[in-house]
Amino acid sequence: MRREDPRLPLPPPLLALLLALVPGSPAMEVTAPATIYALNGSSIRLSCTFNSCYQVEKKQFSLNWTYQRCDNCTEEPILQFKLKAVPMELNRFGDRVEFTGNPTKNDVSFTLHDVQLDDEGTYHCYVMNPPDRHKGHGRISLRVITEEPPERDSTVAVIVGATVGGFLAVVILVLVAVKCVRRKKQQRLNTDDQKTEDEAKTDGEGNPEEGTK
């Protein structure tokens, strides 16, 4: 009789059953805008939120924000949360970093004040909420501009709306005009038919004065 080698892999159905019985820990989902624009000298909020299957416990919860100047550059720590939010000492942003999130509401955002041109780069948000085993990660690309962009979107929307509205108005006027023309034509035909019938009746009855003569 052939003996089964214990090192052989388990049959797929049994393996699937064992995996289903093992408590799973779904990965944390972190949401952050891919790119944001900030006006030079203004304040900008870098939004980062997360979804977790477990309630936030401040004793276990941890958060780290880092800054990366370029793709190949080393990430520099900006802010961390251990029982409370604490900006990292001697970071390049000084006292311009303010934690404006609320971990108990799944918000770990921070605000950067007095934005400078050198603040451009990638900002990383790392979130850990045990018993979640996986660390959540979000990234934001910050672009600094020197002047407000023109409101082209609203202008285009107004132009498009006016164009569409004008076109619809023209179509409605054309339809009304066509309907009026058809109605007048039908009335004219009805009038002509009525005149023809009256003339036919008159010719059929003859002229009473001529019959007397």
Report residue 185 as tokens.
């034509």
Q: Tell me: the pLDDT tens digits for 51-63?
A: 998 999 989 999 9
Position with higher pLDDT, 171 vs 120 = 120
pLDDT at residue 89, rounded to an integer? 76
Whether domain 25-145 has CATH 2.60.40.10:
yes
pLDDT at residue 80, rounded to an integer? 93
- Prediction pTM value: 0.59
Distance CA(7)–CA(108), nearest Å, equals: 47
Distance CA(190)–CA(205), nearest Å, equals: 23
User: Residue 122: pLDDT band by 50, 70, 90 thresholds?
Assistant: very high
Q: Tell me: the pLDDT tens digits for 63-95?
A: 999 999 999 999 999 999 988 888 887 678 989
Whose CA is closest to 123, among 144, 148, 103?
Answer: 144
**pLDDT at residue 203 tops 80:** no
pLDDT at residue 23, rounded to an integer? 45
Residue 68's H or E segment, with its range, is: strand 62-68
Domain ranges for the chain, please list them: 25-145, 150-192
What does the pLDDT average to over 27-38?
92
pLDDT at residue 4, rounded to an integer? 39
Q: Please check whether residue 58 is in contact with residue 129, taking contact to mean a CB–CB distance below 8 angstroms.
A: no
Whose CA is closest to 44, among 162, 133, 141?
Answer: 141
How many angstroms from the chain centroid is the CA of residue 169?
32
